[in-house]
Amino acid sequence: MYDIIIVGAGTAGLSAAIYSLRAGKSVLVLEQQPSYGGQIVNASKVENYPGIPEISGFEFAKSLYEQAVGLGAEVIFQKVIRIEEQAPNKVVCTEKDSWECKSIILATGAKKRPLGVPGEETFAGKGVSYCATCDGMFFRGKEVAVAGGGNTALEDANFLANYCSKVTVIHRRDTFRGDKKSLMRLQAKQNVTFLLDSEVVELLGENMLSGIKVRNKKNGKVTEVPVSGLFIAVGQMPDSEVFSDQVETDQLGYIVANEDCKTNKEGIFVAGDCRTKTVRQLTTAASDGAIAGIAACEWCDGK
Ligand code: NAP
């Protein structure tokens, strides 16, 4: 029996754990991945977290995890498959175990959105990657492309340009969603080219990816770009399917809650990228964690 069970050991979940533990609550964190940290682990560099001018995503996550565990968080690496009401408590179930608690915080984050083009599944792991920091080294000295125009795409391209002979950034519009500073850094690199107003329409190759077909959206012209790697960074989808019949979600699957992080179910809170909101950043994930943690503590205390 725990006061609070947190689902997800990313920035939001671990921040919620820190606030809940400091309020004297017992906390179990359940994480479906074999390790903690969530998406930030794959960021080569974080430069916009207030008070920390520069840190690697891995170092940031490690520090957060150690802080939560140091305060007494128990962390178990199992995937939650169900939540049950057992009034006045709740039960959180994985394939193997179940635990009772007074309150739940859902902090399952988001996962990478696929591009949805022919060949994407065939070449996944054979040239197609969704994580530049994980796989970039396999493409040292080779020509690669990055699809997307957000911060992930810009940071991936910046990272890859340090190792690859050429990086082509393919974006469906002519203006970028990502930060101007990252874009300017990228534009200054000699081995980076841009295909704007363009979309990847097909992936080519025998056993391994050898090229991509890119269509210019303005003139309809399709060109073949020879690449060994395609890094797909076209946004995210919430990782919340398991809970869609337990709490209200929007049409995209994000769990509905305002800034108070309260779902439509009493005693169940939501924090981080899986919540309906407009800004999904490390800072807002940590902020959600604090708000949901405090709200869950108040719920446990019957306030
Ligand atoms: P994002 O900001 O949603 O950007 C996704 C990009 O992919 C957009 O440029 C979008 O184009 C494009 N796109 C979406 N669907 C597409 C499709 N089917 N075909 C081609 N292009 C497509 O996603 P993100 O870059 O993964 O970032 C997610 C969140 O994390 C954002 O809030 C971002 O700021 C944050 N983030 C922050 C940092 C940082 O602060 N250091 C680093 C990484 C991510 P349009 O622009 O035309 O919609």
Whether the per-residue pLDDT at 303 is higher than 80: the answer is no
Q: Whose CA is nearest to atom 36 of ligand 1?
A: 151
One-letter identity of residue 132: A
3 state SS of 44:
coil
CA gap 261, 275 in Å, rounded:
8
| C-alpha 210 to ligand 1 mean position (Å) | 25
CA gap 302, 290 in Å, rounded:
19
Mean of pLDDT values over 229-248: 95
Question: Which residue in 3, 135, 239, 288 is the catalytic one?
Answer: 135
The pLDDT tens digits for 13-46 are 999 999 999 999 999 999 999 999 999 998 888 9
| C-alpha 214 to ligand 1 mean position (Å) | 19
| C-alpha 238 to ligand 1 mean position (Å) | 14
3 state SS of 172:
coil
User: Which pTM was predicted?
Assistant: 0.84
Q: Whose CA is nearest to atom 7 of ligand 1?
A: 234
Mean of pLDDT values over 50-74: 97
**Angle value at C-alpha 130, between 128 and 133, nearest 5 degrees:** 110
In this structure, the number of other CB atoms found within 10 A of the CB of residue 245 comes to 9
The pLDDT tens digits for 253-264 are 999 999 999 999
**Whether the CB of 238 sits within 6 Å of ligand 1:** no
| C-alpha 251 to ligand 1 mean position (Å) | 19
Mean of pLDDT values over 259-272: 98
- 135 in catalytic set: yes
**Whether the CB of 182 sits within 6 Å of ligand 1:** no
> Which of 19-23, 43-47, 95-99, 283-287 has the lowest average pLDDT?
43-47
**Whether the CB of 172 sits within 6 Å of ligand 1:** yes
- 297 in catalytic set: no
Phi, psi (deg, nearest 5) at residue 284: -75, -25
């995210």: which residue's tokens? 236
